[in-house]
């Protein structure tokens, strides 16, 4: 499903990144005027594999090792995701296997998590609005 909507978004949503827009505009002008000297600043340097690997693979691990706030946020998010997946794994066991509910009815308690999260979001948004006044 995400692949489908990602593909639709890729086709429908226009490009908004300024360097890419400048590259596209320079390419159009270059072919229209037949002046091959016109180029964008992003075209001056070719992307090297070494730089791409450093930026995409090594830099996040360096930030994790050297920045304490990144490590703490990673630990917190790991705990939250673990807790959430624990709920998703324990609910079917508790309601389908132990209580003998069928799979359709056994999934209904997930509605409580959804309602609670939306309710909590509304309460926190209301508190934030009250603090701003």
Residue-wise pLDDT for 64-83, tens only, equals: 999 999 999 999 999 999 98
Q: How many helices (H) and strands (E) does the chain have?
A: 7, 0
Q: How confident is the model at residue 133 (pLDDT cuts 50, 70, 90)?
A: low
User: Rounded to an integer, what distance in angstroms lies between the CA atom of residue 60 and that of residue 58?
Assistant: 6
- Taking only Cα atoms into account, the Rg of the chain, rounded to an integer number of angstroms, comes to 25
pLDDT at 35: 87
Give the residue from 37, 33, 15 showing the smallest Cα distance to 24: 15
Q: For residue 95, count other CB atoms closer than 10 A to its CB.
A: 19
């Amino acid at each position: 499903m995400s692949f489908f909507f990602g593909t639709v978004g890729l086709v429908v949503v226009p490009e908004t990144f300024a360097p890419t827009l400048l590259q596209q505009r320079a390419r159009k002008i270059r072919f229209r005027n037949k002046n091959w000297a016109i180029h964008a600043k992003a075209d001056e340097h070719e992307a090297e594999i070494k730089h791409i690997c450093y930026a995409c693979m090594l830099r996040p691990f360096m930030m994790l090792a050297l920045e304490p706030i990144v490590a703490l946020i990673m630990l917190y998010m790991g705990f939250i995701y673990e807790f959430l997946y624990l709920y998703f794994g324990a609910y079917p066991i508790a309601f389908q296997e132990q209580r003998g509910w069928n799979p359709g009815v056994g999934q209904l308690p997930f509605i409580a998590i959804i309602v609670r999260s939306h309710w909590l979001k509304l309460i926190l948004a209301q508190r934030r609005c009250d603090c701003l006044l």
